Amino acid sequence: MLINFLVGLPVIVLCVVLQAVFLALCARRYASQQRKMKACHSKTDDVRLLSMVMVVMLIGNYVQMALWALLFLLLGEFKDFTSALYFSGVTFSTLGYGDVVLSPQWRLLSPLEAANGILMFGVSTAIMTAAVMDIIKQNAIGEQERSR
């Protein structure tokens, strides 16, 4: 049991760092685009900005799934990266089909990855929600200024 935790912990830490990198990348890009659009922006700009946030955060989550898949390959749990990535995606997203499982020696890595995944999807959701709320706020301010 302890060996599973010790093997999974560095991957969790790396996933947290990756999530922070993608979050920082996303936040900088978002702020930069918001400054450019301050004067006049359209619904299309809002859609483009929100789409960028969603895509960047999803790519970040996908990279983390690939990292877990790489660990499973290194441990000899899968013969090819595609199978490892499939298992990782199902586990990271907490979908859990159960059609593929790890060997008894490494099966406790699955709940570690699932816990990691649900936390990272939670962070991604929070960032997307913050972006939506910011756009709503900006649109409300714009409406107030136009009605004066």
In angstroms, how far is CA 96 from the centroid of its own chain?
Answer: 18
For residue 140, the model assigns a pLDDT of: 83
For residue 138, the model assigns a pLDDT of: 84
Domain-by-domain residue ranges, the chain?
Answer: 2-30+43-147
Q: How far apart are CA 58 and CA 101, in angstroms?
A: 24
Is 0.85 surpassed by the pTM of this model? yes
Mean pLDDT by 10 residues, the chain (148 residues): 95 97 94 78 88 95 98 98 98 95 96 97 96 89 74
Nearest 10 degrees: Cα torsion 13, 30, 88, 90: 130
Q: How far apart are CA 110 and CA 91, in angstroms?
A: 6
What would the two tokens of residue 140 be?
A: 């409300």
CATH number of 2-30+43-147: 1.10.3720.10, 3.30.360.10, 1.10.287.70, 1.20.120.140? 1.10.287.70
* DSSP3 helix / strand / coil % (the chain, rounded to 5): 80, 0, 20
